[in-house]
Amino acid sequence: MRAFANVHPAVSMTYFLSVLLISMFLPHPILQTEALIGGALFCATLKKRGRAGDIGFYLILFVMIAITNPLFSHNGVTILFFLNGNPMTFEAFLYGISLAGMVVGVLLWCKAYSEIMTSDKFLYLFGKAVPKLSLVLSTALRFIPSYLRMSRQVGRAQKAMGLYAGKSLTDRVKNRMRVLAALVAWSLENAMDTSASMKARGYGKKGRTSFSLFRFRRSDGILLGACIFLLALPIVGAALGVTEFNYYPRVDKIETSFMALVIYTALGLLSLLPFILEVKEAVLWKYYRSKI
């Protein structure tokens, strides 16, 4: 079940933009941790297969970014040890962890965005305002997953034909190049078919109408209002300097005032909102199935 996928596209777009803006432009450790946890839980509810590989990739990326920062940045006053004559500081390590959390969190939310905001939703939102740009962006957003899916299909087909029997490096390179050539031909043909199809349908012409199943319901309005309210609190806190946090030259203390706690709670609820909806939908689904 995907409860958040049934939300109106305008609400989904507003939500993802809100979380991404907070994650990228408010470098506060608590806010970034909440955004990271919310994105991880949401992605876990969306994708059932390949979780182990995803977890491994994000963990490796997190560790690499966290370790790389103190190797190149030697700012800070708390020196832990020296490496090749360069000081490794406590502040640089903490900033590397914060930067790694921000990057991984943004990637997780972008992954969730690609699962929820399909091409038809994107065209519904921007097709009339900027038809050509929206078509290009929609095609680009779905190109990578389609390309990977077709790559697996071509690889399996060629393997069934016995083209991967050779184990030498030369044979593997030739086979990969053969797959790449098939993918390039497929992508070009697919682009031409899409262009001809959209042109035949009168896409982008003035007065053209389009069928859509999206309807803005009362629940969408409540969810949109909640997103705007929960987003406004961190923005106000940033304007007042409550969410300001510095790692250099010394790590600041985490603000624990009433306003700061309200902001932490607001962003925590905002980050966990899709996960809460998915869990609620799953519980209701199991409950109704038990009544059958």
Residue 88 confidence (pLDDT): 84
Chunk the chain into consecutive blocks of 10 residues (it has 292) and report each block's average pLDDT, rounded to whole numbers.
Answer: 80 90 86 90 75 76 87 82 82 89 90 82 71 64 71 79 68 76 79 74 65 80 90 87 85 86 91 89 84 78
Q: Which residues contact residue 64 at a Cβ distance below 8 angstroms, ignoring those fewer than 6 apart?
A: 100
**What long-range pairs does 246-249 form, CB within 8 A, spacing at least 24?**
247/76, 247/91, 247/92, 247/94, 247/95, 247/98, 248/75, 248/76, 248/91, 248/95, 249/75, 249/76, 249/77, 249/91
Q: What does the pLDDT read at residue 140?
A: 65
pLDDT the model gives residue 142: 65
Q: Taking a C-beta distance cutoff of 8 angstroms, is the pair 32, 271 a contact? A: no
pLDDT value at residue 131: 64
Which pLDDT value is given to residue 15? 92
Predicted TM-score of the model (pTM): 0.75
pLDDT, tens digit, 9 for 90 and up, residues 236-276: 888 888 888 888 888 888 888 888 899 999 999 999 999 98
Residue boundaries of the structural domains of the chain? 1-124+212-292, 128-203
Question: What pLDDT sits at residue 151?
Answer: 80
Residue pair 273/40 in contact (Cβ under 8 Å)? The answer is no
Half-sphere exposure of 51 (CA within 13 A, CB side): 10
